[in-house]
Each structure stands twice: as C-alpha cells, then as structure tokens.
Amino acid sequence: MITPVKKAVIPAAGLGTRLLPVTKVLAKELLPVVDRPASQYVVEEASAAGITHIIFVVSRSKDDIGRYFAPDARRLADRDTENRLAGLDALLSRVSVSCVYQDEPRGLGHAVLCAREAVGDEPCLVILPDDLGQADPPLSAQLLQVYARTGKGVLALEQIPRQHIHRYGVIAGRQEAPRTYAISDLIEKPPPGTEPSDLAIIGRYVLPPEIFPILSRVQAGAGGEIQLTHGLPVRQQPPGT
C-alpha cells in the first residue's frame, strides 16, 4: 500500500542575500506578495493538496516564521482586526506548523535532512518557498496525484529557456505520459551547453523516506553544501562538486 503524504518540509534557513538589504532584518519568506507573506502561498498550496503538517526548516535568526504561523492566541474584540486574521486562522486550523533548526547554511540537501526526525518513516512533500507559481491543479496536488499512483519520488519540472537553465537542476529522461517523464539522470546547475534537456527542477518534490539515509551519505560539495539533487535516488554517484 502506498502511504499517503501528509507532511511537507519547507526549507527556509537561507540567508536571503539576493534580497539584501531588507533581509538584514526580515526573513525573505515573510516578505509580502500582494496581501500575504510569500510563504503563506505555499502553506495554502500544501494544505489544498491534503497536507496536514508543515515543517519549516529555519535558522536561529528566523524564528519570526514560526511566530507568524503560530495559532493566534490574541483575540481582539475589533471586528475588522478579526477579519484580517480570519484567512490565516482558518489555514492554521487545517494544518499544524512546526519548525526545526538548520544551524549552518549547508545546502538544500542538508536542510531536508534536518527535518528527518520530524518527518519520520513516511514520504514527504518538499516545497521551496521562493518558487511561487500558478497551476491548475496546483503543483503540489499534481505531484501527490502521481505519487499516489506510482509510489515513486516525483519532481515538478518546467521548460526553461536554454540561456537560463544553468541556474537549475536539470533532468535527462523519457516522456512516458502526457507531461510526465521517467527521469534517468539529474545534473545540478550544468555548465552552459552541457545540459541534458530543457527541463528544470522547480521547487516541489515528493520524496520517499529512503531519501534520509541517502542524504546522510552524500558528500558535501562546493562551499560545504549538500545538494538535494545529489541525494535523489536516480543519481547513485554524487559528483564531487
């Protein structure tokens, strides 16, 4: 039987250097996009896909994320204020949110590994909170549908113009159904001209529990970082980059 996916891991311990200077004092995941913090969109997306437990991976200086997603104990009499909190409160009645710490910025694979205990022996959805997008059905729901059918790890992909694809993890694969590929290899940030396709990993992954022991064996590459891509089971030999 395929275990249903109920937990989502949201890595959010990054330093936010691309958004300096505001990220000196504010977690980039809390920057507002229209009327709510960027990370609220992905929590809503996860909840709509049936996720009931969200695990944020944060650094010690980003506790504000946990505070934002804590159920609001403050009950104000003012009706306008209650209305403003209503959407978030309703979301938090459907999902529980907890935080685990990543004490050093050691890469996306290491961030996911920090959630090992909180996830336990079950599959999880990983959502990168800076990848916001609209899809119908939403990306997380699409991935969970494929997982429920196959029981195999699933990644969200997007066709990216060749001149930008070196910024992503890129797959090699064979199309096996409309908009679905069987992945035979993954290359993290291939040097320009060496990419195996124009299909890039965008920030949604469904990972079986075997990911954790594999990630714990992946060697750190450039800058001491452990890449999630190097732990994904299609790639048995992590390159030493």
Positions in the binding site for ligand G1P (CB under 6 A) = 108, 128, 131, 168-169, 188, 200-203, 227-229
Paired sense of beta strands 124-127 and 199-207, if any: antiparallel
Which C-beta is closer to ligand G1P: that of 205 or that of 212?
205
What's the rounded Cα separation, in Å, for the pair 202 and 199? 9
Q: Tell me the β-bridge partners of 171.
A: 186
The answer to whether 71 and 89 have CB atoms below 8 angstroms apart is yes
Least distance CB 174 / ligand G1P (angstroms): 20
Least distance CB 2 / ligand G1P (angstroms): 25
Least distance CB 207 / ligand G1P (angstroms): 13
Detail the DSSP E strand segments found in the chain: 7-11, 32-33, 36-37, 53-58, 96-101, 124-127, 154-159, 169-177, 180-188, 199-207
Which C-beta is closer to ligand G1P: that of 29 or that of 88?
29
Least distance CB 112 / ligand G1P (angstroms): 11
Which C-beta is closer to ligand G1P: that of 91 or that of 232?
232
Which C-beta is closer to ligand G1P: that of 85 or that of 131?
131
Least distance CB 155 / ligand G1P (angstroms): 9
DSSP character string of 57-111: EE-GGGTHHHHHTS------S-HHHHHHHHHHHHHHHH-EEEEEE--S---HHHH
Least distance CB 170 / ligand G1P (angstroms): 8
What are the angstrom distances between the C-alpha of 65 and each of 43, 56, 99, 146, 192? Answer: 12, 8, 8, 30, 36
The CB-nearest residue to ligand G1P is: 169
Which C-beta is closer to ligand G1P: that of 9 or that of 92?
9
Which C-beta is closer to ligand G1P: that of 11 or that of 208?
11
What's the rounded Cα separation, in Å, for the pair 72 and 94? 14
Which C-beta is closer to ligand G1P: that of 99 or that of 170?
170
211 in helix, strand or coil?
Answer: helix
Least distance CB 43 / ligand G1P (angstroms): 18
Paired sense of beta strands 199-207 and 154-159, if any: antiparallel
